[in-house]
């Protein structure tokens, strides 16, 4: 885990350096267009739900795996075998949609696949050795990364995305810092290019998304507490 975090940290540092040295090449120029506004708002929504999925998956696994001795196949792990990686992918794509040019999405997907697919295959091999037939059956019934559309439509969100206040507390600092950082970067960029009056509508959409996100967190947390 520590090695993985170090590698991710180095990659993020290098990416940040490239963006700072060549901002015009990577960053999307602000323009008053519905497509740009939609990209930024949709990207922010992806970031929020990616964070939520990651918290839910990590918390659910820590409570259900019995310290690694039990296979977890419910909750977020009913949607996909790697919901935490899916959450990371959503966060990354969201940031790209908010700040970067369109072609950067392709670059992100390629880098993400190169970075994480090897880890996923390695983990799958280890889990097959550990759980045998049980994990092989789980592999056949559950997609690796992308959830099946019919499952998203049929399943109760409270069952596939459980949440508890104790899970949130563990990551609240990094979550708030990340959200505030994205908002500050995007806000400063828009205000400098468009002015405060034009930016109000977009900022209002961000606040509305945060409000809906907060209500969803409360709803999911109440359900989690009622079962504990």
Q: pLDDT tens digits, residue range 89-146?
A: 999 999 999 888 888 899 999 989 988 898 999 999 999 999 999 999 999 999 999 9
Per-residue b/e over 73-100, b at no fewer than 16 CB within 10 Å? eebbbbbbbbbbbbbbbbbbbbbbbbbb
Q: What pLDDT sits at residue 228?
A: 46
* CA-wise closest residue to 163 among 51, 80, 85: 51
Q: What pLDDT sits at residue 82?
A: 96
- pLDDT tens across 3-35, in order? 655 666 666 667 777 766 776 777 776 666 677
pLDDT tops 80 at residue 75: yes
d(CA 72, CA 77): 7
What average pLDDT does the chain have? 83
User: Could you tell me the pTM of the whole model?
Assistant: 0.85
Q: How confident is the model at residue 199 (pLDDT cuts 50, 70, 90)?
A: low
Q: How confident is the model at residue 205 (pLDDT cuts 50, 70, 90)?
A: confident
């Amino acid at each position: 885990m520590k090695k993985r975090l170090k590698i991710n940290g180095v990659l993020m540092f290098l990416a940040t350096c490239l963006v700072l040295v060549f901002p015009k090449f990577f960053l999307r120029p602000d323009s008053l267009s519905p497509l740009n506004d939609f990209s930024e708002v949709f990207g922010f929504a992806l970031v929020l739900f990616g964070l939520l999925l990651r918290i839910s998956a990590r918390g659910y696994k820590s409570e259900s795996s019995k310290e690694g001795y039990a296979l977890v196949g419910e909750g977020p792990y009913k949607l996909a075998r790697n919901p935490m990686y899916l959450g990371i992918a959503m966060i990354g794509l969201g940031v790209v949609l908010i700040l970067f040019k369109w072609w950067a999405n392709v670059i992100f997907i390629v880098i993400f696949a190169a970075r994480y697919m090897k880890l996923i295959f390695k983990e799958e091999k280890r889990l097959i050795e550990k759980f045998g037939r049980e994990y092989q059956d789980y592999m056949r019934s559950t997609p690796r990364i992308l959830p099946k559309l019919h499952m998203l439509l049929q399943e109760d969100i409270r069952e596939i995305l459980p949440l508890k206040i104790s899970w949130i507390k563990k990551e609240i600092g990094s979550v708030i810092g990340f959200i505030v950082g994205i908002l500050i970067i995007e806000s400063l960029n828009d205000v400098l290019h468009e002015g405060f009056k034009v930016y109000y509508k977009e900022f209002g959409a961000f606040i509305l998304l945060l409000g809906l996100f907060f209500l969803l967190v409360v709803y999911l947390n109440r359900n989690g507490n009622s079962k504990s």
